Amino acid sequence: MSTFLDILSSYEPITLAEMDGVKLMDRTDTKYTFNINKLSHVLTQAKPFYKVLDVEGNRISRYKTLYYDTTDFDLYNQHHSGKLNRYKIRHRTYVESKLGFLEVKYKNNKGRTVKTRIKEKNIPELDNGKAFEFLEKTLPFNPQTLIPKIWINYSRITLVNKTSAERLTLDLFLEFEKDNQKQMMDYLVIAEVKQDSKTPSPFIQIMKDEHIREGSISKYCFGVASVFNNIKKNNFKSKILNIKKLKDYDFTTISK
C-alpha cells in the first residue's frame, strides 16, 4: 500500500496565493476523527475532487499554536457548557511560511464560525499595543484577563475543492505542551470540512461511505481536558473516550 506521503505527492497542487479566494473566514465546520492508518485510503478516495496546498514544496505544514484563556478557564468552560456565541483566542505560527497571526475564532448562535486575525510574527503581549487594540475591538470582555494556557502543535494537510468554495484540513501528529511537558496523539487524524454554505461535499460523502461519524471535540478543549487537573470535563468524557478508542483501530479489519 502506498504511504499517504506518496499519495499526497500525486495530488494537483495549489499555492497560498491561489487559495486566497477560499479563505472562508465566515463558514460552517464539519469535523471527523479517525486513525492515521486509514489516511492513505481516505486521501486516495479524495484525490479526484481536491487539490493540495503546496508551500515551497511542502505538502504537510507544521503549526505551532498558543491558546489563551482567563485564569479560571472561562472560555473553555463556556464551550464545556455548550454555550454559543463563544470565543477562542490564539497565536498561530505557520512554520514553513514563517508567518504568524493573532486570531480570534467566534462561534455564533447560528453555528457559523467567524475568524478574524492580525499579523503578529512573534508571540505578542496582550495588554498593550496592536494586539491589545485588536482584541479590545473584537472581544466583549477585557483582553487583559487573558493569559497563555497551552501549546497545541500539529502538522496539517490542506485540501481545496476543485469546483466549489470548500477547504478540508487534516491535522495529524497532534501534541499538547504545558510547562515543557508534552503529550503526543500520533495515532489521530482530525479532519475538518470548511464551507461557506452546506453544499454537497465529496469528503463528507467519503466519511459516510467509510462509516465515520461526524463529531469531534475542539483541539483546545481536548488539550485542556487532557493536560489540566481539577477542571470540568464531564460533558467531554464520551468524546474523549471515543477518540482514545481510535488508538486501537486495526486497518487490516477493513475490507475493500
pLDDT at 27: 62
Amino acid identity at 68:
Y
Q: Longest Cα pair distance anywhere in the chain, in angstroms?
A: 57
pLDDT along the chain (256 residues), means of 10: 88 88 66 95 97 92 96 96 92 91 92 89 91 96 96 96 91 95 94 83 95 88 93 91 80 39
- Evaluate whether 173 touches 228 at the Cβ level (below 8 Å): no
- CA atoms of 50 and 159, how far apart (whole Å): 6
Please answer whether residues 239 and 226 qualify as being in contact, where contact means their C-beta atoms are separated by less than 8 angstroms: no
Contact 95, 62 (CB under 8 A): yes
Report the distance separating Cα 86 and Cα 131, nearest Å. Answer: 20
pLDDT at 56: 86
- The pTM (predicted TM-score) of the whole model is 0.88
CA distance 231 to 121: 32
Cβ proximity of 218 and 79 under 8 Å: yes
Confidence at residue 252, expressed as pLDDT on a 0 to 100 scale: 43
Other CB atoms within 10 A of residue 84 CB: 11
pLDDT value for 234: 93
Consecutive H or E run containing 160: strand 147-161
pLDDT for 254: 38
- What pLDDT sits at residue 256? 31
Question: How confident is the model at residue 21, as a pLDDT?
Answer: 62
User: What is the grid cell recorded at 197?
Assistant: 454554505
Confirm if 112 and 26 have CB atoms less than 8 A apart. Answer: yes
CA–CA separation, 154 vs 33, rounded Å? 14
Q: How far apart are CA 32 and CA 192, in angstroms?
A: 6
C-alpha cell at 17: 496565493
**pLDDT at residue 210, as a whole number:** 94
Note the pLDDT of residue 3. 92
> How does DSSP classify residue 110?
T
List Cα–Cα distances, 156 to 52, 109, 128, 187, 192, in angstroms: 11, 28, 32, 14, 11
The CATH T-level fold of domain 4-249 is Hypothetical Protein Pfu-838710-001 (2.40.320)
Query: What are the structural domain ranges in the chain?
Result: 4-249
State residue 249's pLDDT score. Answer: 60
Indicate left, alpha or beta for 98 from its phi (over 0: left) and psi (-120 to 50: alpha): left
